[in-house]
Amino acid sequence: MSDAFESYLNENRERFLDELKTLLSRPSIAAQGIGLTETAEIVRTRLERLGADVRLLPVEGAPPIVYAELGHRGPLLMIYNHYDVQPPEPLELWESRPFEPSFRNGRVYARGVADNKGNLLGRIQAVETWMATRGELPIRLRWVIEGEEETSSAHLECFVDENEELIRGADGCLWESGYRDKAGRPVLTMGLKGIAYFELTARGAKSDLHSAYAPIIPNPAWRLVWALATLKNEHDEIMIDGYLEHVVQPPAEAVEAADAVPFEEARFKADSGIDRFVAGVTGKEAVRRYLFAPTCTICGIESGYTGAGAKTVLPSVARAKVDLRLVPDLTPELAAELLRKHLDRHGYGDIRIELLGGEPPARSSIKSKVARAARAAAESVYGKDPVVYPNMAGSGPMYHLCDRFGIPAVGSGCGDSDSNVHAPNESISVEDYFTHVRFMGELIETFKE
Amino acid sequence: MSDAFESYLNENRERFLDELKTLLSRPSIAAQGIGLTETAEIVRTRLERLGADVRLLPVEGAPPIVYAELGHRGPLLMIYNHYDVQPPEPLELWESRPFEPSFRNGRVYARGVADNKGNLLGRIQAVETWMATRGELPIRLRWVIEGEEETSSAHLECFVDENEELIRGADGCLWESGYRDKAGRPVLTMGLKGIAYFELTARGAKSDLHSAYAPIIPNPAWRLVWALATLKNEHDEIMIDGYLEHVVQPPAEAVEAADAVPFEEARFKADSGIDRFVAGVTGKEAVRRYLFAPTCTICGIESGYTGAGAKTVLPSVARAKVDLRLVPDLTPELAAELLRKHLDRHGYGDIRIELLGGEPPARSSIKSKVARAARAAAESVYGKDPVVYPNMAGSGPMYHLCDRFGIPAVGSGCGDSDSNVHAPNESISVEDYFTHVRFMGELIETFKE
């Protein structure tokens, strides 16, 4: 970065950290409906101080979207962030309070600091710094900052449907997330898997009965187990009829990127406490499977008596939570349709399916303008070659904001491998925070070309 | 009954009900370790007032057994009861407090009144009445009254091992339970199924992970589902290797008795809220299946996230409670061995099995002396032909007290089809209570021959 940028950053370091503390001190928990509009107002005010044209756009059934525009020339960069955070529970595992930011050992601890209030605010401060030291922006910026990412962005698609003109036309999108790996390399992400999250319910008698009735009264726990066992076999192969026909091979550049991802297999296995990956995959094959394979996962299952000891009960209901991580060309709607048809065809028409949430997969080319700009900025700021993930194994609303309009995206952020995202003691390194500010400043340069 | 018996009963009606209230007012919850020794003392005192030779016999790890002997001549009848009751929860569903007996609509409401403090006390009062009106007993009586029947009589087998001389030699046993059916017929029971209750546990990573890791990290919920699906197929056929080879055909007299059991199929289905029995059985075939089929029942299953909405978690552990109801010649030990071998052979050696409790099946001939005496007494007292179940579909410790020593057993009791055994608002009809007293008085006559 320029000396002027560094000097300004240095002079305003304490204020920038104070602003971060203010944002982190405000609980904004989408799952619990806590503090969302208040936090949106903080973000709106901060963007207004930058000189942006800001609007709080109402979303039916959801917290408002903070939408902002800044700049009058050059290519148009959309910035996607979210101001909501995961619930802080379990509270007893936090070493400091989740909404009272604690600075220790060169890190900031607070719920949402890595995911993703740090990214959200650092990018704004980067634009301030750029303008304060260089003047008029050489690119146009457009912020879309939502408040229910942590609850699957359930209403974002509707919002986009009704506000296409606010999204369409961006030349690239800087996505919310990214981190620095254990070796200090910046990680850029080019996409996400989709997801379809289902609840399956089987019902039997109208109330739980004594298990002595098992010879004649149907048991919904068995129905559910048998139905589930038709979805994926004991070799971990997804057996949903017609499902795999919709899985297309990832493009060569994505496979190449996956093969270049550093993977410390032994350490990963030790950290997870397992000695063998699913289907016995290993090395590059494990990385490819991790990034490109669709999944069918029992996230939860419950029926009958689950307390201590023995209770001889014949359950009246059994439920499972099943998530399908989707890869191109699968979509939540297609997954729901195939799952229903599959269960019907296998004799499980009685099992109710509810689609609790879904997002299509998304992936941008690593050759896009915004990807090339992000790589150049990351190389310059971190001094290391970035690791480029062709997509993450997780999910998010990227499709609705980007792929749907042909807008390429790339993710980068200030977390690291110790950030405990979604877990107690979420944190980032203070230096990584400012490095992300520098990255955003540099991206204004590399993206303007 | 004799006029004298009836007169005594009438004169002492209020005192007998007061004694019942006293016994019911004392919580004695085996599962929660509440009030057991105190209740044993009440029973001991009542038996001593009868003139019996009573001992409170300690049982390692369990509440004491009340053991009593009375009478010096004639055949020896063992009476099995238990002074413990099921937990009263859920309390909010009780219309009166479970341990404050409430008399309304000709019924007594209280936890344990049907199962089985009513039977326990009514039998003692019958003996008092007989002796007060007739003099010396023409039979010998031996009471074995335990305090952990509701938690599977876990220590009764050990007690019997160490006290064989207290059990051996009885000419028959009056078992704890029985009831009056909807048509007013007394129900006598000749046996029980056995049971083996297992907890199965599958483990994966050392903690729950983000479900994005599903392509490579093994999921114990799937392991458990696949393993369970090998135990019973979708046609409800038990597939545990070698298991069904140990099932012997019930004797002709048992089948005949089963076929004579009145079965109001439509009402039963409507009450349960189902429209079809397992395997499509109906009529007599349903009764035979209910009484004679071994079972493999998922009583409970739990893994991962089971709350409201969606949480994308890859579980680290999955557990199932599975009960196997055993018919001759299956035993808990054999069931445990076959289950372990089956899971190992099918590739599920990683799934841990814990046997939480077990009892062998038990069944007596309907031609035994005690069965014939009970039928004659029931006919005389109820004025209707009894319904004789060759065995119940439930389980109990009958084998250890009876079959093991060649002692035939028969069950009879004061409950009815509205007694809500093990459920809120447990109750019996007051008149049924006194009818059971009469039944016991008559049994002294019919058994003495």
Q: In this predicted model, what pLDDT tens digit does every residue of B7-21 receive, in sequence order?
A: 999 999 999 999 999
pLDDT digits (tens, 9 = 90+) for B157-171: 999 999 999 999 999
C-alpha B199/C-alpha B341 separation (Å) is: 16
Best residue of B223, B263, B297 to probe chain A, by most A CBs closer than 10 Å: B297
B204 or A424, greater pLDDT: B204
Q: With beta carbons less than 8 A apart as the criterion, state whether B218 and B371 touch.
A: no
Question: Of the candidates B222, B289, B393, which has its C-beta nearest A298's C-beta?
Answer: B222
CB proximity under 8 Å: A 166-185 to B: none
Question: Of the candidates A209, A299, A311, which has its C-beta nearest B211's C-beta?
Answer: A299
Cα B265-B270-B273 angle, rounded to 5 deg: 125
The tokens of B318 are what? Answer: 């999955």
At residue A449, does pLDDT exceed 90? no
pLDDT digits (tens, 9 = 90+) for A324-348: 999 999 999 999 999 999 999 999 9
Q: How many CB pairs under 8 A join A and B?
A: 230
The single-letter DSSP state of residue B85 is B
How close, in Å, is residue B219 to chain A by CA atoms?
8
Rg (alpha carbons) of chain A, rounded to whole number:
23
C-alpha B43/C-alpha B219 separation (Å) is: 52
Q: Choose which CATH entry (3.40.630.10, 3.40.50.300, 3.30.930.10, 3.30.70.270) describes domain A3-193+361-448.
A: 3.40.630.10
Residue B35: how many CB atoms within 10 A of its CB? 20
pLDDT digits (tens, 9 = 90+) for A179-228: 999 899 999 999 999 999 999 999 999 989 999 999 999 999 999 999 99
At residue A39, does pLDDT exceed 90? yes
CB contact under 8 A, A212 and B304: no
Which residue in B299, B337, B351 sits closest to B321, CA to CA?
B299
Segment holding A272, helix H or strand E: helix A265-272
pLDDT digits (tens, 9 = 90+) for A47-100: 999 999 999 999 989 999 999 999 999 999 999 999 999 889 889 989 999 999
Calculate the alpha carbon distances from A440 to A23, A371, A415, B190, B360 in Å.
19, 13, 14, 82, 73
A226 touches chain B (CB under 8 A): yes
C-alpha B259/C-alpha B247 separation (Å) is: 20
A131 touches chain B (CB under 8 A): no
Q: Is B265 helix (H, G, I), strand (E, B) or coil?
A: helix
Q: Choose which CATH entry (3.30.2230.10, 3.40.50.300, 2.60.40.290, 3.40.630.10) describes domain B3-193+362-448.
A: 3.40.630.10
CB contact under 8 A, B234 and A356: no
At residue A385, does pLDDT exceed 80? yes
Residue B184: how many CB atoms within 10 A of its CB? 11
C-alpha B110/C-alpha B108 separation (Å) is: 7
- CATH dotted code for A194-247+294-359: 3.30.70.360
CB contact under 8 A, A422 and B302: no
B213 touches chain A (CB under 8 A): yes
pLDDT digits (tens, 9 = 90+) for B77-126: 999 999 999 889 889 889 999 999 999 999 999 999 999 999 999 999 99
Contacts of B205 in chain A (CB under 8 A): 272-274
pLDDT digits (tens, 9 = 90+) for B298-332: 999 999 999 888 888 999 999 999 999 999 999 99
Q: Is the ipTM of this complex over 0.90?
A: yes
pLDDT of B151 reads: 85
pTM for this entry: 0.91
At residue A104, does pLDDT exceed 80? yes
Residue A184: how many CB atoms within 10 A of its CB? 11
pLDDT digits (tens, 9 = 90+) for A263-290: 999 999 999 999 999 999 999 999 999 9
- What percentage of residues in chain A have a pLDDT greater than 70? 100
CB contact under 8 A, B310 and A301: no
Cβ contacts of residue B406 below 8 Å, gap of 6+? none
pLDDT digits (tens, 9 = 90+) for B215-269: 999 999 999 999 999 999 999 999 999 999 999 999 999 999 999 999 999 999 9
Calculate the alpha carbon distances from B238 to A182, B57, B229 in Å.
51, 41, 10
Q: What is the mean pLDDT of residues B38-42?
A: 98
Confidence of residue A152 (pLDDT cuts 50, 70, 90): confident
**Cis-peptide, bond into residue A259, ω within 30° of zero:** no
The single-letter DSSP state of residue A340 is H
CB contact under 8 A, B305 and A318: no
Which residue in A129, A123, A211, A218 sits closest to A173, CA to CA?
A123
pLDDT of B41 reads: 98
CB contact under 8 A, A302 and B302: yes
Domain extent listing, chain A: 3-193+361-448, 194-247+294-359
pLDDT of B391 reads: 97
C-alpha A74/C-alpha B295 separation (Å) is: 73
Cα A443-A445-A447 angle, rounded to 5 deg: 65
CB proximity under 8 Å: B 304-333 to A: 304-306, 309-315, 318-319, 321, 323, 325
CB contact under 8 A, B212 and A392: yes
